[in-house]
């Protein structure tokens, strides 16, 4: 991928958000071949941003590749990590996918399921922009924290 094809600018303010920083950390952690060595944060997170043009290039029907599945799992790991930071409770992400890309992502805190996302078309996993990623994640975390507060006994059990 050349610099000219990147859609995330190096000075994007969302690169400083908690979720993007942690997501990049998760992506670096699964990079066993040091592919990201020397890459900027914008270049690492760029493939997660699916603009309309990028999404049009991905077939409507297809099976997810290993890289896309790894990005998906890294995202839910990041959400779980942020929940742990904000609540002080251990959060465990669980992602189950069929070979066709259908499945479910759960995040459990204690015995409480605080995130339950049905996954479809995971071969097209991504966000329209970093701002979209931050906004959607903030909503997920806010809802999860509300559930933890409401059902604290199950979350701390």
The pTM (predicted TM-score) of the whole model is 0.94
pLDDT in tens, 92-151: 999 999 999 999 999 999 999 999 999 999 999 999 999 999 999 999 999 999 999 999
Pair 133, 19: CB distance under 8 Å: yes
DSSP symbols for 30-83:
T-TT-TTTT--HHHHHGGGB--HHHHHHS-SS-PPPHHHHHHHHHHHHHHHHHH
């Amino acid at each position: 991928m050349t610099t000219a094809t990147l859609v995330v600018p190096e000075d994007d303010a969302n690169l400083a958000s908690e979720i993007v920083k942690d997501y990049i950390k998760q992506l670096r952690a699964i990079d066993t071949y040091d592919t990201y060595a020397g890459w900027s944060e914008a270049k690492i997170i760029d493939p997660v941003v699916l603009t309309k043009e990028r999404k049009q290039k991905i077939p409507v029907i297809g099976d997810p590749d290993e890289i896309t599945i790894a990005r998906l799992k890294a995202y839910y790991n990041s959400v779980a990590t942020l929940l742990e930071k904000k609540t002080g409770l251990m959060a465990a992400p669980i992602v189950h996918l069929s070979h066709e890309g259908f499945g479910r992502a759960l995040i459990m805190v204690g015995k409480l399921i605080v995130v339950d996302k049905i996954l479809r078309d995971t071969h097209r996993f991504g966000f329209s922009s970093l701002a979209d990623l931050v906004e959607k994640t903030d909503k997920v975390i806010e809802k999860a924290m509300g559930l933890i507060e409401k059902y604290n006994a199950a979350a701390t059990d």
